[in-house]
Chain A
Amino acid sequence: MREGHFRNPSGCAVAAVIDRGGNKLTGESMISAIEVMHDRSNGLGGGFAGYGIYPHFKDVYAFHLFFDTQRAQEETEAFLKRHFEIVYCSEIQTRKLPSVKNEPVIFRYFLAPLPIKLSNSHLDEREYVARCVIKINSVIDGAHVFSSGKNMGIFKGVGYPEDIGRFYRLDEYEGYAWTCHGRYPTNTPGWWGGAHPFGLLDLSVVHNGEISSYDANRRYMEMFGYKCTLQTDTEVIAYIIDYLVRRQRLTLEEVSHVIAASFWSTIERKEEPARSQETLLRRMFPSLLVTGPFSIIVGYSCGIMGLCDRLKLRSMICAEKGDRAYISSEESAIRRIEPSLDRLYSPAGGEAVIYELYDRGGQA
């Protein structure tokens, strides 16, 4: 059985770093951070998301794809040609390691939507691209788009995260923000698409936990055209955030009041306008409350967000040093790459920690 044919909960390690001034750092620092938390993974999945890594192609969408078969690649490329102008494409360069086995064919495409197709679709550009991604992943057997944002990329696979990072030669990429993930699934997936981060457009999510609200969330999200093909918690959380931020235009902090909402009794004690705003958000989106243990790190063009479930059933710690901010499952991972910190703290359950670029990457 492969990922997507069964539900696969997993324990994990997560970590992230951002340079708020926009200075670049290589993927190597993330690799050494996650390596410290080796025991939180079991060699069945690891991955990274890097932001700001494709400055030369920053205005087009970078698709990363896994192909199981030649035929899947041909079908996908035919689909891509019908919907996009392929600006550049190549196999993703990897370093062969004995510990990373059975890798699929891994390709990268830089894509610009075909203007006529886009305007005929009556969709905004991002919705158009998102639908194409969902279409490929749910319709073309043996093809999987695992990264689809601008000036960012996800790199993931089956193995320990430090090995996956070296396999993808992340020491050769430079970005202003990185997130990473080591996976401890309770099933044997053996499929690369199931690893984290999970992404859609520039949004990426790494997640530690097993949510108990999964099917309530999934069945709700599928009303809006999302197809949860992987049946993982991370996938549904990513779709929820995409839906709330991109389609309902909520802020990330408002998103945290939906998915990790305060208890009614806590909300009642809050000051206005927080009380009425949080009440309203819970009444508007009750089916998007996520229960059960989770700690997630969300990456997006402007920054990173850390968030735990409202009971804080998974560990998460945040730190700051100069322009740099860190989020991790364990303090050890942060100390590994920055031994002396200005500030170190544990956010409360349901408390969103948001670190953004000082200039928000030029975005509003």
Chain B
Amino acid sequence: MANFNIDAKSNMTYDAIVIGSGISGGWAAKELCEKGLKTLVLERGRLVEHITDYPTMNNDPWDLDLRGAASVDDMADRQVVARSGFVGENNKHFYGKDSENPYREEKPFLWIRANQMGGRSLLWGKQTYRWSDLDFEANLKDGHGVDWPIRYKDIAPWYTHVEKFAGISGQALGLPQLPDSHFLPPMEMNCVEKDIKARIEKEFPGRVMTIGRVAHLTEPLNGRGQCQSRNRCDRGCPYGAYFSSNAVTLPAANATGNLTIRPFSIASEIIYDEELGKATGVRVIDSETKETVEYYAKIIFCNASTINTTQILLNSTSNRFENGLGNDSGQLGHNLMDHTYRVGAHGKFDGHEDKYYKGRRPNGIYIPRYWNVDEKTNTDKFVRGFGYQGRAERSNWGAGANQEAFGGEFKDSLMTPGDWEFFITGFAECLPNYENKVYLDKDKLDQWGRPTLVLDAEFKENELAMNEQIQIDAVEMLEKAGLKDIVGFDNKHGMGYGIHEMGTARMGRDPKTSVLNGNNQVHAVKNVFVTDGACMTSSSCVNPSLTYMAITARAANFAVEELNKKNL
């Protein structure tokens, strides 16, 4: 495979440095390298080469003593990640060790880290949705947060740009609140999902149910294979069928010959030159040797993931920036957002008992936002809105645990598929709120001597009002769709479970109230760009990764133009 150039010793100076190699860092590297910039990617953890470093990708349950579960000893270093319920023997090596990266939860905040090349792009849910002007205009219209400095028209061509290369499957609908992507063919709904879709759309005019839009290939693209419905994505895909930095952007960056990637490199701070009035490089701690090394470049892209990026900026202090690089507004670290998670309803469906499906589709259905999208749908209960993900499938032997039965007949009855079950679970937009914040704890250093972080954030009135509505609407939709044994649920999770943390270095029009401008440049340090989730000014209710990709590609191309004009 790729044989990445990891020789960062012979050269300390580059055209560009990219901090982080996850979803946004991979895109920054690809765009900058393809435009001819010698680019150094600083990776916090180890290298993970596509396929070569996916040791568990073909494991069946019985190949492991614990059938895929991770032992208490294995999880001892991953106590935060364990709370997500998503970690097992087959994917634990792609999650960071929480014990090595301590943080304090002033209020409960599940902070999922993935410290290796590719970051969480190896683990993400692959749901990919464009934002619309309903999202980009929201802050301006209802007064929460500050106005986005960009609109849909600014980013639309960049959505297309990244979608063509990443490969996004989905169904075009022409909805104003959920613009269509450049789509590969949609995945198929199963028979029950099709029935429920028809009933919901009939009973609730204005509500739509569609197949999830996902970064899975439904036909081959650029040498990558199409999805084989194994649903073992979070171990790494042998076909490269889902989008990850490892399978898609980093190999493309590497193919230019312009990429150097340095593993085990903790970016501790960005070096600021007061005379030049710009950043000159990045101070790096080698996580293995604990040595400090400095790398220099004309431009720096921060893509360490939302909270890590802000940690680096907060830790980059100088006479000019006593409270963190670019923090003239005092907004750095504030306005942390996520989506609400695990509130909805499930039930059983009568019919189609003689039908089944083939494959473990790594995707479900999506019900786009329908509240507050126009005059007719406005409510005074909350601002913004929510969407639902969900799926129908037949229960298997696991359903036997609840059945009041045991013995031979019971056992043999579990050999054939059980009831059709269906659920929807909501994701609500989270308002930017100054009180939701991260800050440095200078009294508690990590093993590399860096101040650790304190996370102090919670869902507030508007999010909780939406969660109530999510459950009410979910139960009502399932009832009208003819399901039975309907159960509404709300796990009342704190923030972080959506794993969509956003904000803390927001874009804006005014340097007095925001950290970044409309091209993702730090207002006061124009050669530093932040294009991961930290840059987000609001959170929409749809999954953010596609927007990180598009914003990154847009900013990288702007940066190269500015360099060529000698403006940086």
Tell whether A and B belong to one assembly. no
Q: Tell me the B residues contacting A by CB distance below 8 Å.
A: none
